[in-house]
Amino acid sequence: MTLPQTALLALAVGLVIGVGLSLLLVWAYRARARIADETSLVVPDGVTAVLRSMDDAACVVDASGLVLAVSKAAARFGIRVGAPLENPELRQLLRSVRSEGGSHTESMRITRGGLSLDPRLVSARASAISPRMSLLIIRDVTEQERLDQMRRDFVANTSHELKTPVGAVTLLAEAIESAADDPAQVRHFATRISAEATRLGQLTGRIMSLSRLQADDTLTDARHVSIDEVIASSIEAHVVQADSAGVELARGGDRGVWVHGDPQILIEAFGNLIANAIVYSPRGSRVGVGVKADAGVVEVAVSDQGIGISEGDRERIFERFYRADEARSRRTGGTGLGLSIVKHATQRHGGEVTLWSRPGRGSTFTIRLPRIDAPEGIEDDKKSKKKRERKAAKAAARVRNGENA
């Protein structure tokens, strides 16, 4: 081959290579632009706006598992824009949607923020929104599961608790029938039936009270409530119980304190604490009810000198049907609902209840409630009442001294 021919061949090869490289570069740039367009255009403004308004964790994910857009709540599960979706179960759910189409929903437990602690039960729904993009919505149903379990436990525990007095009444009725010719036995069994009926009435009444407290977060009969009157009513309702148990009831602390709430609910709550304190106090001891008022809070503490509560029981003492001393509660007719009613009644009034206890030294339950100012006219009424009391005392003194009133 001559030199000119070789040069022409080299020039032709160079032109082919140059054109090929140019075409390759053009194709690469177009492919890159197409991918960029797909990642930006497949997430429409409407989808992004919906994500911003969602309370649930949600995100748009591409075929490689890269997160392109998220809702605000997605951060709770460690899902961020520009990062890959790390959870293998969620990735498998997305793969199923891409291969089969449509939408899939699964329940699973996943961790939040990449932590191994605090696994959450979620309902995850994946839907295909384009050939390359999928929408993933993660709804946290952990609290719903807990509430459902609480309802199931409540029904099961209630059924179990009701069986005991109902069964006892049935057996006692059969015993009365068989002892119809023995008046003494009939009277004995009738007394037992009356006790079981009282226990059944208390149990059903407290179940209804607890159900009402849990049914609604609002107070239907809220008004200005005098803590003095509430405590006086609560103590008065348990004077007979205290006398029978040989326990002294004492009231101390601040006076003239007011809260906003339902007086009947508060009377029941304080009454439950006083009743429990009496039951678990030895004969000859004292149950004290003390009031302490700060700027915006009133604390009502019910203290006893009883057997106390162990540390393990203190963690569960406010659970429904939980009894720290099962045998003693059975003997005294305890329902295991009193402290649960106290907790829910306090929360309904925007407060909290705390416990201090030491085995062998006694227990103190303290209810903290928001304090309000006394209603208008109360101070004037108090002054008038004191004047009337002083005038009556002077009159009584003159009568005792033989003077004319």
Block means of pLDDT (10 residues each) for the chain, 405 residues, are 55 53 55 48 73 89 90 88 89 88 87 63 89 88 80 70 75 83 84 79 70 64 88 90 91 91 89 90 92 91 89 76 54 64 87 90 92 74 51 49 42
What letters, b where the CB count within 10 A reaches 16 and e where it falls short, cover 122-159?
A: bebbbbbeeebbbbbbbbbeeeeeeeeeeeeebeebbe
| 114 token code pair | 């990449």
C-alpha angle 328-329-330 in degrees, rounded to nearest 5: 90
* CA–CA separation, 84 and 241 (whole Å): 67
State the pLDDT at residue 39: 43
Rounded CA separation 20/320 (Å): 80
Domains (range + CATH), the chain: 45-140 (3.30.450.20), 143-215 (1.10.287.130), 222-374 (3.30.565.10)
DSSP-derived secondary structure letter, 82: T
Residue 298, judged by CB atoms within 10 A of its CB (0-12, 13-18, 19+), counts as buried
| Residue-level pLDDT at 120 | 85
Separation CA 88–CA 40 (nearest Å): 25
Q: Which two tokens stand for residue 131?
A: 């050939």
Q: For residue 121, report the phi and psi dihedrals to the nearest 5 degrees.
A: -85, 125
Nearest to 162 by CA among 341, 335, 332: 335
Contact 318, 284 (CB under 8 A): no
CB 171 within 8 A of CB 193: no
Q: In what order do the strands lie in the sheet with 133-140?
A: 67-70, 57-62, 133-140, 120-128, 103-110
- Give me the DSSP letters along 177-210: HHTTT-HHHHHHHHHHHHHHHHHHHHHHHHHHHH
* Token representation of residue 288: 């004290």
HSE, CB side, 13 Å, CA atoms: give it for residue 256: 9
Cβ neighbors of 112 (< 8 A, separation 6 or more) are 76, 77, 78, 118, 120
Which residues on neighbouring strands pair with residue 141, listed in sequence order? none
So what's the pLDDT on residue 184? 86
- Burial of residue 56 (number of CB atoms within 10 Å: 0-12, 13-18, 19+): middle
b/e map of 9-34 (b: 16 or more CB within 10 Å)?
Answer: eeeeeeeeeeeeeeeeeeeeeeeeee
List own/partner pairs for 105-112 with CB under 8 A and 24 or more apart.
107/141, 110/77, 110/138, 111/77, 112/76, 112/77, 112/78
